[in-house]
Structure 1
Amino acid sequence: MAGTDKVQEEIIEEFSAFDEWLDRYEVLIGLGNELPAIAPAHRDEQHLIEGCQSRVWVDARLEEGKVYYSADSDAIITKGIIALLIRVLNGRTPQQVLDTDLYFIDRIGLRENLSPTRANGLAAMIKQMRLYALAFAAGGKE
């Protein structure tokens, strides 16, 4: 799991440079702006995450045994949050995705600085990403 831990430690280090959450939100907005666009065909009800205050679409594909995600949101902070999740989980095997403890969320103070509805959305995004990995691990389509 060294790969996901390394990425999470990089994220923690990047966010530790900022004391104020306003500055950290700016980082999230920047990450969201850099997130590659999801295919227009995947901005549909089937890819929409239930439980998010804002609209969030997530898709995943399995290539050569590794999971690759794409996502989009109509909310800039949420888009940055999903960009962080993708940064940690992209290019991992389904089992690695399932086994990864996403400790960076608490270490950077993200969870405690989200409204309850946005925190529920974060949990829903993580759940959906893991469901894709679970389906792939169970022999889902490549």
Structure 2
Amino acid sequence: MPLETASRPTPIEDITENFSLLEEWDDRYRYVIELGRELPAFPEAQRTDANKVQGCVSQVWLATTVEHRNGRPLLTFAGDSDAHIVRGLVAILIALLSGRSAAEITGENPLALFERLGLGEHLTPQRSNGFRSMVVRMRADAAAALAEAV
């Protein structure tokens, strides 16, 4: 069953630019929450144990669709969380990684973006660990898609 997803509600370039314009952490925090609100609705049928991200304090679901184009796997992600700020973090990761090839995803460093945006210094260790768990999951899905392609 294919996932119904929007490709990228807010491009990652816009997100990083908007972060640079927001000087106060409270404004950045509100912006992350707003990004989460822009995510497409996550289908109830996709809220499964298989899609649940382990290692997050909040409930987080990530669903991955793999499509093959020109002999290479492209991944599209959809996600959701029961926590507003975490849903925003999901939105940031989707903006960065969704719609890209598996090779690009495995070569990307979302944790560097996390630090560049200042999220590491302003979020709780539990939220930071949850972000890392989401990254691990998305990269594992990309690696699995690469392994299947050979």
Scaled by the length of structure 2, what TM-score is found? 0.84
Aligned length: 134
Give 1:1-142 correspondences, 5 Å limit. 8-64=12-68, 65-102=73-110, 103-139=112-148
Question: Structure 1 stretches (4+) deviating beyond 6 angstroms?
Answer: none
- Counterpart CA distance in 2 for 1:97 and 1:35 is 20
One-letter amino acid of the counterpart of residue 141, structure 2? Y
| Alignment RMSD | 1.4
Contact conserved, 2:36 with 2:85, CA < 8 A, in 1? yes
Point out the more displaced range, 116-125 or 33-42.
Answer: 33-42
Of Structure 1 and Structure 2, which has the larger fraction of its residues in helix?
1
Aligned counterpart, 2:7: none
Contact conserved, 1:32 with 1:80, CA < 8 A, in 2? yes
Give the % identical residues: 39
- Counterpart CA distance in 2 for 1:14 and 1:90 is 20
- Counterpart CA distance in 1 for 2:12 and 2:113 is 6
Scaled by the length of structure 1, what TM-score is found? 0.89
Structure 1 gaps of 5+ residues are 1-6
Q: For 1:67, what is the secondary structure of its paired residue? A: strand
Contact conserved, 1:11 with 1:104, CA < 8 A, in 2? no
Point out the more displaced range, 96-105 or 78-87.
Answer: 96-105
